[in-house]
Amino acid sequence: MQPFALIRTKRLERARAIVRDKPEARALRAGGIDLLDRMKEGLDEPELLVELRDAMAPQVELGAGQPLLPAENPERFPSAPRFAQIGALTPLAQLAAAELPGAEALTEAASQAATPGIRNTATVGGNLLQRPRCWYFRQRELVCLKKGGDTCLALMGDNRYHAILGAGPSFIVHPSSLATPLLALDAVVSVFAGTPSDPPEGGATTEPNSLRLLSELFVSPADDPTREHALEPGDVLTSVWVPVLDGMRSAYQAVREKQSHDWPLAEAAVRMRIAADGSMRDLRIALGHVAPIPWNASAAAALLEGKAPNADLFAQAADAALADAAPLDGNAYKVPMTKGLLREVLHRASGLALPE
Amino acid sequence: MAKTKLSLGYGPKLETVPVELPPGEPRPWDANDQLEVVGEPVPRIDGQLKVSGAARYTHDVALEDMLHAAVLRSPYPCATIKRVEVKAALDQPGVEAAIAVAAVGDKLIFAGQDVAAVAAARPEQARAALASIVVEYAPAPFVVGTRAAMRDGAPLVHETAVEERRTGADEPGAEKATGELSGNIRPGRSQKRGDAKRALNKAALTFEATYETQCHTHSSLETHGVMVRWDSEDAATVWASTQSIFSVRDEFAAIFGLPPAKVRVITHFLGGGFGSKFGANASGTAIAKIAGELARATNKPVKLMLTRHEEHLCTGNRPDSIQTVKLGATATPGAQAKITAIHVQAHGSAGVGTGAGVGRNASAVYTKVPDVLVESADVFTHAGPAVAFRAPGHPQGAFAMESALDELARQLELDPIDLRLAHDGHPVRRWQLELGRERFNWDARRQAAADMRARGTRVRRGVGCAVSIWGDFSGTEARVSVEIDRKGGVVVKNGVQDIGGGIGTIMAQVAAEVLARPVDQIRVEIGDSELGPGVGSGGSKTTASITPAVRNAAEAAKAELAQIAAEALEASSPSKLRWTNEGVSLGRRSLTWAELCERIEGEAIVAVGTRARTYGHYPKSFPGFPTPEIAGAQFAEVEIDTWTGEVRCTELLAVHDCGRVMNEMTVRSQINGGIALGVGYALMEERVMDPSLGVVLNPNLDQYKPCGAKDLPEISIVLTEVLSGNNNTGAYGIGEPATIPTAAAIANAVGDALGVHVRSLPITPAKILDALERGRQTSTEGDT
């Protein structure tokens, strides 16, 4: 690990400006979990870290506010009677302990990620913006597609933990365990982007100037294999907004090789409402750790929309969700696994009892 | 030799057994002795230091002026050095010395091998300076997969004969590999009884399956490392993270051409070894040589602690294995079926090193099988060398043999415990199997598992069992001293290190027992070669080697005290004295401990004790040794989600024999640790190498997956104490036996839950799904 300096500022715009001035050598630090890992592994060697924790506060609030919709095309954002607002600096442990009726998929995912120690420090923003765990990417000496090389080393190598969906050209799986439920919950994010303004000391707080659908936060490797998210240096994710529909229910589950401190092999999250006639409505299904981006299984959701919960139907939806799967030579197991997982999560989210 | 009769045995079976004792040996504690302190669950005397962080491990040792070393390692799995130039490193900040470890022309044969090293004021400076060392490599073809290395035409790892390297952690008495190298394969150890091949040909029924186990890393929480300080031209002090202080001393002395007495080795606390920390150097990196040379070059103490990454590349591992097991059986139906032959053909890779044997489960547990052949071969690959790992060979051998037995039992529709009982000649293990059957509610759970399979439930449970064999390999080398000073202080000293089992606490208990003193009044000093010859912690022999010497030293010190007391109390003989926690008495006359100790002439009584050779082995000896065979059996329950393949070990019952229990709490703790290691081996741990890059892909504790707290089953432990008459305390080992059967028992439980066996470790969700798919195909074929 190279020596580095750390500066603290209470002014977010100042923090952003510092990083924008010299992005190749500076970085923002929130919980610092993945950042410090990368620095210890020699993947990143910033000279200067700018502490975000003095400029932003942890926060989980239900129904206190609504995201500020842009003037242009506001209808592309979800509407809901209430939103849960989650500050980007909120530690996972605080999110895990929050009461968010209907959004249990999110609190369940937050309570299962990493270890108690990491959850006390790791933040919601950092979880969404962390870099992949791919064992080729993480080895300093190896030059893979993500690091500017010609090819994804997982293609010819050991790809047991890699993607089965998304068709490359990088076969990482997105590492965020919160992204999966947040995508199912149709979350939106607030971002401070662009040139920082220079508010006077103690002056009015600037509002985040960019609202995005969660899916817009992530970059497919087909567009740019060297990055996973669309934020530019100095951009700061400030809040995640979860629309809370009346009668909403959700569930999340992951499969792991071990239960203490392990990355999922596959994740599934489902959101729905059960209408008065017993049918499932407003269904959204997301899969995690199966593609380079959090995966929206919209075809599976469409298949179930408006129908009553039914075990055979869930199995069909699971088949539909994985219909495009194209496993590599070492990860075909993820196809039946993810199907089985999604069936279980559909049962749990809809309340239809699981078979023994 | 003095003949005596001891009351020996176990649980349901105690017998009076004649034993010949060497001269001067006290009467061994037997079934008639009611001990006050020994056996009690006394908390570790250094427990507070450990949990508070006050315990100083080698990692924590800091000396004034010390430098930190870092090692440049080969990035290539196979390459010849064309140029190595360290001079530029000397200009880097903080650097005081730089040395080449490999020379031009040297052939490096695994990624991670030593190339050069530097010493700098701070560890990050040393690490950064490595980048300025100029090395030119000529890369050569390599092979890292075991099967790939066995193929004709595979790149050769060794071109000439390979000397087998052994440490004190290897299984004592294991056959030496002598076969000729052919390609990358060298036939090694074999165990033979009768003619297995002939018996297989004649068998009415045969079973054959191939089992595979993965490469498993020790993953000690404290990585390998040393600090070397030259005290003069020809004398050094070495702080080492080691499980064998005296072999570090001897190896360091040999490297630098010193008399061993000129080298002092200190290990006050050790953060795990598991067999990998026996020498001054590690199996694949010359840490002591490097630190010693850099210390000599700079005239300052040099500390070299490896990173987690390095720890996974070059400090040892458990070899993988590919084992084909053939069983022959009679065609008699049901419980009358008899196994007539066992033939195991094992290949395994210890990387560039040797020692991929598979233990003795197949050859020595099932002694009622007349014809047995176990053949094993080393397969060389361009990977870091293996080294002894907690029960070398045994967990992999137990997995294959115990799995094959269960598969045969399934085929014959026999209960797996019954099949084991019919072929195992050890009375204690047979008793353990019966105990476990009852305590684990085996029959009801087996029935429940069969019902779940029949109903095709989503969630399945299953149970399995497996057994272990180990021997009492304790030695006579320790010299323990007990000092009793005029103020009543008692100190027990020995140069042994505590690998984590809690030997210091047990030494205090044994001394307290003999001297009738409270345990907290005994001071123990260990972890320093100046405290007198100890024993390496390998082969599960620390407690059994050290405690008899403690007892002898304490008995000798007590004899001196007794002379003083007898004189003071006017006893006709010291044997008339009554000893209590208060002191000593004769009738109504008494002396407190303090009053008695004041009468010591000079400063203190100092008595040195040794351990006699093992003299008893009731009820059964380990094959080839006149010492006890140690039996164990474990029972596992697993729960499997057949939709996702997720598998957990939910419950584990461990029934173990460890001779006379010295401390029930530390014994249970060692068994818990053995089970945690076994659960990781069974379900999640695996070193993964990229076949085309030749590097380890998961050299960390993130993607290399040791068992964590949430992965532990609910553990129950039954201690089936055996009094074997082996030594004067009756102790023998548990460290290794505790981990031998775990993975096999879990694999058998998985087989019970699924009705199909997973023949490869670790049993991941991917392999569960694959086995279920195979099961479906088989049943579909059966239907047509």
Q: Tell me the pLDDT tens digit for each residue of B517-533.
A: 999 999 999 999 999 99
- The residues with which A84 forms a beta bridge, in sequence order, are A62, A242
What Cα–Cα distance (Å) separates residue A175 from each residue in A17, A157, A292, A295?
Answer: 28, 19, 9, 12
Q: Note whether A318 contacts B: Cβ–Cβ < 8 A.
A: no
* Alpha-carbon span B625 to B622, nearest angstrom: 5
Contact A341 B644 (CB under 8 A): yes
CATH number of the domain located at residue range(s) B1-34+426-474+614-784 in this protein: 3.30.365.10
Contact A258 B683 (CB under 8 A): yes
Show Cβ contacts of residue B201 under 8 Å, excluding neighbours closer than 6 positions.
none
DSSP string for residues in B279-303: SSSBTTB-HHHHHHHHHHHHTS-EE
Please list every residue in chain B whose beta carbon sits closer than 8 Å to the beta carbon of residue A344. 641, 643-644
Burial of B565: CB neighbours in 10 Å, binned 0-12, 13-18, 19+: buried
Contact B688 A256 (CB under 8 A): no
* Alpha-carbon span A346 to A353, nearest angstrom: 10
Q: Note whether B765 contacts A: Cβ–Cβ < 8 A.
A: yes
Show Cβ contacts of residue A210 under 8 Å, excluding neighbours closer than 6 positions.
A190, A191, A192, A193, A194
Helix (H, G, I), strand (E, B) or coil at B246: helix
What Cα–Cα distance (Å) separates residue B383 from each residue in B88, B310, B329?
Answer: 30, 13, 39
Contact B765 A142 (CB under 8 A): no
In B496-599 the beta strands, taken as DSSP E runs, fall at: 522-525, 578-579, 583-586, 589-592
Show Cβ contacts of residue A99 under 8 Å, excluding neighbours closer than 6 positions.
A62
Please name the member of A153, A160, A260 whose beta carbon is closest to the beta carbon of B710. A260
Contact B648 A266 (CB under 8 A): no
Q: B-contacting residues of A 181-240, CB under 8 Å?
A: none
CB atoms under 10 Å from CB of B518, counted, come to 12
pLDDT value at residue A209: 83
Q: Does the active-site annotation cover B736?
A: yes
Give the residue from chain A lying closest to B709, CA to CA: A260
Question: Tokens 């203190």 map to which residue?
Answer: B604
* Alpha-carbon span B665 to B685, nearest angstrom: 27
* Alpha-carbon span A181 to A348, nearest angstrom: 14
The domain defined by B66-140 folds into Aldehyde Oxidoreductase; domain 3 (3.90.1170)
Q: What angle do helix axes B427-439 and B442-455 make, rounded to 10 degrees?
A: 60
Please name the member of B684, B697, B765 whose beta carbon is closest to the beta carbon of A337. B765
Average pLDDT over chain A reads 95
> Strand pairing of B114-120 and B95-100?
antiparallel
Please list every residue in chain A whose beta carbon sits closer than 8 Å to the beta carbon of residue B75. 141
Q: What is the DSSP letter of B537?
A: S
What are B510's two structure tokens?
Answer: 């044994």
Q: Note whether B425 contacts A: Cβ–Cβ < 8 A.
A: no
Please list every residue in chain B whose beta carbon sits closer than 8 Å to the beta carbon of residue A175. none
- Shortest Cα distance, chain B CAs vs residue A335, angstroms: 10
Please list every residue in chain A whose beta carbon sits closer than 8 Å to the beta carbon of residue B764. 257
What are B751's two structure tokens?
Answer: 């087989």
Q: According to CATH, where is 3.30.365.10 located in chain B?
A: 1-34+426-474+614-784, 476-613
Residue A269's nearest CA partner among A95, A112, A86 is A112
Residue A198 reports pLDDT greater than 70: no
What are B500's two structure tokens?
Answer: 């984590």
Contact A333 B770 (CB under 8 A): yes
Contact A355 B766 (CB under 8 A): no
Q: Where does the pLDDT of residue A203 fall: very low under 50, low under 70, confident under 90, or very high at 90 and above?
A: very low
Q: Note whether A54 contacts B: Cβ–Cβ < 8 A.
A: no
pLDDT value at residue B784: 46
What are B360's two structure tokens?
Answer: 């003795």
Q: According to CATH, where is 3.90.1170.50 located in chain B?
A: 66-140
Instruction: Count Cβ–Cβ pairs < 8 Å, chain A vs chain B.
Output: 101
Q: Note whether B766 contacts A: Cβ–Cβ < 8 A.
A: yes
Question: Tokens 């090293």 map to which residue?
Answer: B117
Contact A336 B708 (CB under 8 A): no
pLDDT value at residue B782: 56
- Shortest Cα distance, chain B CAs vs residue A3, angstroms: 8
pLDDT value at residue B174: 74
When scoring A164, A173, A260, A352 by the number of chain B Cβ atoms within 10 A, the one with the most, hence best to mutate, is A260
Please list every residue in chain A whose beta carbon sits closer than 8 Å to the beta carbon of residue B683. 257-258
* Alpha-carbon span A58 to B229, nearest angstrom: 50
Core vs surface per residue B102-132: b (16+ CB within 10 A) or e: beeebebbbbbbbbbbbbbbebbbbbbbbeb
When scoring A39, A131, A139, A287 by the number of chain B Cβ atoms within 10 A, the one with the most, hence best to mutate, is A139
Helix (H) or strand (E) holding B723: strand B722-723
**Distant-in-sequence contacts of B753-757, Cβ < 8 A, 24+ apart:** B753/B449, B753/B452, B753/B453, B753/B460, B753/B461, B753/B462, B753/B638, B753/B639, B753/B640, B754/B453, B754/B460, B754/B462, B754/B640, B754/B642, B755/B410, B755/B453, B757/B209, B757/B403, B757/B406, B757/B407, B757/B410
Q: What is the DSSP letter of A185?
A: T
* Positions in chain B short of pLDDT 50: 784
What are B605's two structure tokens?
Answer: 């009584």
- B476-613 CATH, one of 3.30.365.10, 3.40.50.970, 3.30.70.100, 3.40.50.720: 3.30.365.10
Q: Note whether B764 contacts A: Cβ–Cβ < 8 A.
A: yes
When scoring B72, B214, B310, B646 by the number of chain A Cβ atoms within 10 A, the one with the most, hence best to mutate, is B646
For the segment A254-261, the average pLDDT, to the nearest whole number, is 96
- Shortest Cα distance, chain B CAs vs residue A319, angstroms: 13
Please name the member of B693, B698, B770 whose beta carbon is closest to the beta carbon of A157. B693
pLDDT in tens, B708-767: 999 999 999 999 999 999 999 999 999 999 999 999 999 999 999 999 999 999 999 999
Average pLDDT over chain B reads 96
- Shortest Cα distance, chain A CAs vs residue B643, angstroms: 4
Q: Note whether B79 contacts A: Cβ–Cβ < 8 A.
A: no
Q: Note whether A64 contacts B: Cβ–Cβ < 8 A.
A: no
DSSP string for residues in B24-44: TPPPPP-TT---SSTBS-PPP
Please name the member of B643, B648, B698 whose beta carbon is closest to the beta carbon of A343. B643
Give the residue from chain B lying closest to A143, CA to CA: B693
What Cα–Cα distance (Å) separates residue B377 from each residue in B95, B99, B349, B371?
Answer: 45, 37, 9, 20
Does the N-terminal peptide bond of residue B762 adopt cis geometry, omega within 30 degrees of 0? yes
Q: Is the pTM of this model over 0.90?
A: yes
pLDDT value at residue A208: 78
Helix (H, G, I), strand (E, B) or coil at B112: coil
Q: Note whether B711 contacts A: Cβ–Cβ < 8 A.
A: yes
CB atoms under 10 Å from CB of B539, counted, come to 28
* Alpha-carbon span B303 to B300, nearest angstrom: 10
DSSP string for residues in A30-66: SS-HHHHHHHHTTS---SEEEE-TTTS---EEESS--
Please list every residue in chain B whose beta carbon sits closer than 8 Å to the beta carbon of residue A158. 688, 690-691, 697
Domains of chain A, with CATH numbers? 60-69+76-131+170-199+206-350 (3.30.390.50)
Please name the member of A259, A266, A340 whose beta carbon is closest to the beta carbon of B708. A259
Q: Note whether A257 contacts B: Cβ–Cβ < 8 A.
A: yes
From the list B212, B525, B685, B736, the catalytic residue is B736
Q: What is the maximum alpha-carbon separation in chain B? A: 95
pLDDT in tens, A36-76: 999 999 999 999 999 999 999 999 999 888 998 988 899 99
Contact B644 A256 (CB under 8 A): no
Q: B-contacting residues of A 141-170, CB under 8 Å?
A: 141-142, 153, 156-158, 160-161
Residue B284's nearest CA partner among B236, B350, B190 is B350
* Alpha-carbon span B434 to B10, nearest angstrom: 14
